[in-house]
Amino acid sequence: MANGFDRQKNILDFTLSSLLRRKWKNLALVFVYTLVVFLLASVMFFSYAIRREASLLLDNAPEATVQRILAGRHSPIPLAYVDRIKDIAGVHAVRGRLWGYYFDPVVGANYTLVVPESGAPEKGTIRVGAGVARARSLLAGDMIEFKTAAGDILELEARAFFSADSELVSSDLVLLSADDFLAISGGTADLVTDIAVGVRNPRELATVAEKIAARLPDTRVILREEILRTYDAVFNWRGGLLVIILAGAMLAFIILAWDKASGLGPEERREIGILKAIGWETSDVLLMKFWEGMTVSLSSFLLGLLLAYFHVFTAGSGLLAPVLKGWSVLLPEFRLVPYIDAAQVAALFFLTVVPYSVATIIPAWRASIVDPDSVMR
């Protein structure tokens, strides 16, 4: 049998030259192929990057959060509970948190009000996120009016803003002092919104959660990993759903591939007949067809990946963002951190290159069995 490597090289050579000879037909195919890969890859990169950001953020979240539930609704929790949690074995950090939402009728948006653990703004001042600043056209030093629970107007000075880098988290954030928060929310100093609990050994989390629930029957404990799991489920569900919808596009693509490959024009048929007549075997022609398919597939795949990468990580996924993020008034503008892993590339490969290759096997074979004596007749 033939010396493998040189034979591959020779046939690959001829394949490339023959692809170039039928430039337009092949370019059209590459265009569609790239588009399909681009769409799928964009969806995948976007959902995975967001999910990863979310999980990185959640890394800073407390391992467990204790909320008070009254009549099935979330309600403020007594600060005194902190002491009752502190002495459970395994707990190493407990603190009450103050936060909530505020609806601003001027722009029709919800802000998240948070009193930070340390470094809270001075009373009378706030730090706001970029989304808030944009919505209210704020400059440093401007005043915003908040309506308090008592019905009064509280004016707070927007002294500083959060950087654009943290927009995913801080876009609608307003940091303020505890006194101001209590004034707006109408709460008292002995109640907090929820309690954050840190556990030293993650394996003990479940046990600690059980004990808290036992001691404080009017509470529920939310574990961080449950949040993470829910995120995963939602993102995968949404991402998968989009993939299924795109399946329609993919199907059309496969049909196109089949059609293009089966359509052996008279010129091409003659060429293959000549090759067979001058001494090429069926397997040589099959090899040529294989390289044809591979060249088209790999270049489209890589091009599609590159374009998707730029689309998602540089151009802000203009096409896809609305569908995947859900909708809110204060859409954060942010740069996603590029995150691609082997799993995504593998999945994309199996969803595009593999079906394309299968669709072209039979047409390729049909082309390769042209009889050598066909050019004689």
Partner 1 sequence: MIFHPLILALLVASGLTSFLVLYASVFGAQILRRWDLQSGSEVQLGLERKTYLISTLLAFVFTSELLSLFLFVFTADKLHTFFVGAMCAAGTFNVNGFGYPALLLKTFNFVLAGTWLILNAADIRGYDYPLTKKKYGFLLALTPLILAETFLQTAFFLKMKPDITTSCCGSLFGSSGSSVATDLASLPVPTMKAAFGLSLLLTLAAGLYFMIKSRGGYVFAALSGVNLIVSLLAILSFISIYFYELPSHHCPFCILQKSYGFIGYPIYLAVLGGGICGLGVGLLNPFRKVASLAEVIPPLQRKLALAAVILLLVFAAIVGHRLAVSNLILQ
Partner 2 sequence: MLIELRDVRKVFHQGKPNEFTAVQGVNLWIEACRATVIQGPSGSGKTTLLSLVGCMTRPTSGRIEILGREVSSLPERFLTGVRRETFGFIFQHFNLVKGITALENVMLPAYPSGERQAALKKRALDLLDHFGVAAKAQSKVEMLSGGEAQRVTIARALINDPFVIVADEPTAHLDTRLAQEFMETMARLKEQRKTILIASHDPIVCDSPVVDRVVLIRDGRLEGEAG
Name, in order, each residue with C-beta under 8 angstroms of 39's C-beta and a sequence gap of 6 or more.
246, 249, 308
Nearest to 119 by CA among 191, 60, 176, 61: 176
Report the partner that residue 278 touches, choosing among partner 2, partner 1, none (CB closer than 5 to 8 A by kind).
Answer: partner 2
Place of tokens 């890589």: 302
Q: Which residues contact 269 (CB under 8 A, 6 or more apart)?
A: 367, 370, 374
Distance CA 350, CA 77 (A): 51
- Residue 257: CB minimum distance to partner 2, A: 24
Spatial distance between the Cα atoms of 247 and 213, rounded to a whole number of angstroms: 46
Of partner 1, partner 2, none, which one sits near residue 362, judging by CB under 5 to 8 A according to partner kind? partner 1
CB of 361 to partner 2, least distance (A): 19
The answer to whether the CB of 359 falls within 8 A of the CB of 254 is: yes
Report what 357 binds from partner 1, partner 2, none; CB cut-off 5-8 Å by kind.
partner 1
Minimum gap (Å) between residue 81 Cβ and partner 1: 27
Selection from partner 2, partner 1, none that 13 binds (CB < 5 to 8 A by kind) is partner 2
CA-CA distance, 272 to 367, in Å (whole number)?
Answer: 8
Nearer to partner 2, 329 or 369 (CB): 369
Least distance (Å) between residue 363 CB and partner 1: 11
Q: Between residues 64 and 176, which has the closer beta carbon with respect to partner 1? A: 64
Give 7 or 86: the residue with its C-beta nearer to partner 2. Answer: 7
Place of tokens 């998602």: 312
Least separation, in Å, of the C-beta of 367 and partner 2?
A: 15
Q: Which is nearer to partner 1, 109 or 227 (CB)?
A: 227
Within 8 A by CB and 6+ apart from 26, the residues are 19, 296
Which residues here bind partner 1, judged by CB under 8 A? Answer: 1, 44, 228-229, 232-233, 236-237, 239-241, 243-244, 282-283, 286, 342-344, 346-351, 354-355, 357-358, 361-362, 364-365, 368-369
Tell me the residue type at 322: P
Residue pair 42/308 in contact (Cβ under 8 Å)? The answer is: yes
State the nearest-atom distance from the C-beta of 61 to partner 1, in Å: 16
Residue 258 interacts, among partner 2, partner 1, none and using kind-specific CB cut-offs from 5 to 8 Å, with none
